[in-house]
Structure 1
Amino acid sequence: MAIRTTLCRMVAGGASIMVAWAAAAPTQAAPTQAVPTVVAAEVIADGPMVVDGASTTSRIRYTSTSVRGVRTEMTGTLTLPSAPAPDAGWPLAVWNHMTVGGADHCAPSTATTTHPELPRMTSGDRVIAHLLDAGFAVVRPDFEGIGGSGPHPYLIAGSLARSTIDAAVAVSRYDSRISHDVVVAGHSEGAVAALSAGAREAAQWNGLRLRAVAALAPPTEVAAILDALSGVPLAGPAINELVGLAALLGSGAAAADPDFADLMTHGGLSRSATVLLPHFEDRCYAELTEPGSFGGLAPTQLLGPAGAQMKAKLVEILERNDVRNLHIPAQIPVRVDAGFTDTVAPQPLVTRLVDTYRHNGMSVTYVEHPVGHAGVATEPGAATDIARWLIAQV
């Protein structure tokens, strides 16, 4: 009973406390490539991606580099404000979304009003609306492999940073009315993306000036929880979200690291889990948690003969590459927001993350809210406060 109660609390936020499992799969710096460019743009007339206060919203495709160093294309949306561009141009905001899954139809840029991931796809809409009202252009990357070629390296920091930076660079070159001043924000997985992008060398921004980073409910210190929960033999509604997301995280690590991919498919996963691998190509996060998918398995049913080795590798990767190890230069202000009742990014752990950042010389504003994981972005007061902070940094 105690285990069931604990698990219910841990998955109540809808995205797991294990969200950073794959965050640190080994990656290599991408080779020098051509400057990211928008190669296609299509105006979206209506639908959930059209935010109040926008003059136009376009679905875009832009060039980038994959987590394995191969030239690729990624997708997203570019939303322009209603106010005319000032002489210096519209400042640019990058918004990074929550967990939605890894299949192409999980891309927020293609969202419909009936999509099962819509609440997570649009969690930042209140923040975005305020930014548009203040005269910001907003680009929202779908992330590598979601809408573009290849699998999604879920929670892989290098991939998320690349998607974020290249989206900003591409749209600034596409529309001359966009200035070189940029702020980056994100929620949950998107918070990892924002922090990871902020920690990249200035040269990777191709002349853009990063002014601020806002991370809403960033997951951290999850290795110990991952290790403890992986041995739970229960299956069912109490832990289906946990198991579905654990599988997604394993898939993300495999997308980035060929050695881990080989281990996962050669004994790391059980036969029951292996037959479900095609689900990553046609199911989003909520669908992966259903009984007919990974959500129907207990954590112990995910592991095969080499499961202990696979789990140990992921724990090692996580400890080495947790977001607490990132460093953003002191001249770039950072804001971190946490929820008192957040079970995905627990407030005590986020507080410790902020303490670490400050100890390491980062300039951090820290704000706590009486909300859960989703509410850190969606609660009107929190959204307004976060947006005002971002606006004030430009």
Structure 2
Amino acid sequence: MDLVELLLSGRRGRRLLWQFILDSEDQSLPSVEEHPLNLAMFHASYQVEVARGDSVVMFGPGAEEGRTVRVSVEELGRLISITKLLPVTEGLLQNALENSVAHARYWQEPDGEDTLLVAPVLRNALHRVAEHIAVSGFMQQWVAPVELRAQFHVEFDQPDPAGSVTSIEPGVVDKLLRWKENLIVTEARARADKPTPVTAMIGGEWWSKPSWELRATTGVFTNQQPIGVSCVEDAFNWEQAVTRKASVLPAVRVLEILTAIDWVQLCRSYGVEVTAHKRHDWYRTTGRDGAWMMPDWFAVAQDYDGVHLSIAGYLALAGECLEVDEKFATVIAGWDPDKTYWFTDELRFYAEPEIWNCLDAHNEDRRWVRFPDN
């Protein structure tokens, strides 16, 4: 597998590379100095979002002059090429991954940074960053299958950590059946509505992950923080997380999603059409107007005990338009990196729960610390 191409091929991977080089600039220059790469992207992305009519406002000292600044992708590429890269560390990669996940949005157009980073000149400039990370040896966990011995379930802002959904009576079949019934009803209702232009500001259920009711787990970073604590798409400003280690039977059948063909084949084998109720959202995020499908998770559960999206698979595929056949395409949306959704009731939680608190939860400096270690 070409790890460099994997990092460059998807918008979430490119955003991770961008954050890594931004952190490199930030740590290489004193805080009192101007950060040319960061400033250039600020102006360039602002102009992208203004040009397409996004609700963005520049205010404060120098704002009037700042609104007129134009930065080309060629200049951005030049700045990327001359920025010194820091040695790769697991902490830097974790921060870059968390930042990339935080900027995922599949119910509207990609933000200015994601829009710019798809340009060939910037993709080429980021190639050396991808090589720098790929040769570091830290990506092995990213391409690995699910680690059954280190799976953690996460719940946020629980008033009573002891009263967890992990302790309720299982019923995966019933949950998936309700999910399938809701999908059928939602699609039929959307199809029955008066047809509207694909550009109409109509939204709905934009995600393609399995039922919200299913139990889901992730592995851990090397600092032993469960990945699902800080890597959550469309997250809220949670201040506390309760994590529980899951006990998974070694004989479980887990479907691994690492490459585009893994997801496409899943749709070909178990696909269900979702064109009517996802058309507008998925058009805005991909620019494609056509027929859409996603996996029928009720059907998938007949043959598998779980489905795992690796970190590498997430970085390469999340939010991308993936062609299924001449008529249909599909999108991985609403997933989190290294997330496994379980289609089995044979999941147990024996260890005591751990509590994590988020410091500075309402700003970009937020970080999670384990209680009482903090």
TM norm. shorter chain > 0.5: no
- Normalised by the size of structure 2, how large is the TM-score? 0.29
Quick check: which has more Rg, 1 or 2?
A: 2
